[in-house]
Structure 1
Amino acid sequence: MLMLKILFVFIIFQRLAEVFIAKKNEKKLKKRGAIEFGKEHYKYFIILHSTFFISIIIENTFLQVIEFGFLPSIFIIFIILQLARVWVISTLGERWNTKIIVLPSEKLVKKGLYKYIKHPNYLIVTMELIIIPLLFHAYITAVIFSICNFMLLKVRIKEENKALLYSIE
């Protein structure tokens, strides 16, 4: 149980570090003339990801019905997802962000996971929204937040594709 608490705190700090990186990158990009797209829906991602962690705590504390103990296979998938997450962030460098921010006339990144998948970060986050709750036996959270994320991603990917078309014109 202690290991799961440490893991939970690690994930929270990881996400906070990513917010710091995103803010730093946003400032750099906007100084270079980058344009932000999809501002209208961004707040819903903040709400989704914030309440995701709250939901895990609530479900794990009050609603936990079935516990299978520590699931090593799920933990291995989690580790792989974290490595992929770092790969995506390092591949994009200062262009990585939690918002849709593009530099006009900048070429699309076609290396790393982007060589194989158009939106690898969204795939990673989608999988995390299933895997992380499973680590904590928060099955209801896994289902609800996966559905909500899917609905938001439909909007997000459409906006990002428009933004990417704008950037390569």
Structure 2
Amino acid sequence: MTSELLFTVLVLAVGLERLAELVLSRRHARWAFARGAKEYGSGHYGPMVVLHSALLVGSVAEVWLLGRAFLPALGWTMLAIVVAAQALRWWCIATLGRQWNTRVIVVPGLALVNRGPYRLLRHPNYVAVVLEGAALPLVHSAWITACLFTVLDAWLLTVRIRVEDRALATASSPAAS
């Protein structure tokens, strides 16, 4: 089996993991809305889905169309980062439980989570996103995709984190009770 094919399988596996996240996210959203939750900043969600889908498609396309080589020292290191990013992401999901979502949905009256990775970082899930977005394409030297995703994701995460911080501050303020 060629390295290009193995890389494609890896990207497909990440894609399947993302689909599992969406299923879980929808389940959590139903739970949250049944408890009076409010969604914030939905306007950036569509572009976020497009960007993250483009990461997967772009990674595979760049490898196959531009003949990117698998460089063992880079590839194995980046694969380790991808695996670590996945572990961090699922630690975040497990820690937040039903409060985790791919959208910014806040249930009024619930306390902010400050355990697990959230005791160390304010936005650990976004650390996982940044690491995976840069590392996944670089597993097989798809540096154009890695660079483009990183730049566009930095802009999108700036928007997303502002929305999320405002939403959480509003939900936890005395006026929101």
Same-fold call, TM cutoff 0.5: yes
**Which residue of 62, 65, 72 maps to 1:62?**
65
In the alignment of these two chains, the number of paired residues is 169
- 1:98-152 CA distances to partner (integer Å, 9 max, x unpaired)? 0000011211000000001001111110111001011122100000000000001
Report the TM-score when normalising by structure 2: 0.90
Aligned to 1:140: 144
- Equivalent of residue 164 in structure 1, options 159, 168, 171: 168
Q: Runs of 4 or more off by more than 4 Å in structure 1?
A: none
Taking only the aligned residue pairs, the percentage that are identical comes to 34
1:41 equivalenced with 2:44 (yes/no): yes
Unaligned 5+ segments in structure 2 are: none
- Bigger drift between 64-73 and 100-109 goes to 64-73
Unaligned residue ranges in structure 1 (runs of 5+)? none
After TM superposition, the structure 1 = structure 2 runs for residues 1-169 of structure 1, keeping only pairs within 5 Å, are: 1=3, 2-69=5-72, 71-169=75-173
Q: CA deviation at 1:74?
A: 1.9
SS at 1:101 equivalent: strand
Contact 1:75 1:135 in 2 (8 A): yes
Letter of the 1:150 counterpart: A
Distance in 2, Cα, partners of 1:49 & 1:55? 10
Contact 1:104 1:166 (C-alpha < 8 Å) held by counterparts: no
**By how many angstroms is 1:41 displaced?**
1.1
1:64–1:138 Cα contact (<8 Å) kept: no
State the 1:26 CA deviation: 0.5
TM-score computed with the length of structure 1 as normaliser = 0.94
State the alpha-carbon separation in 2 of the partners of residues 66 and 86 from structure 1: 30
Partners of 2:105 and 2:119 lie apart in 1 by 20
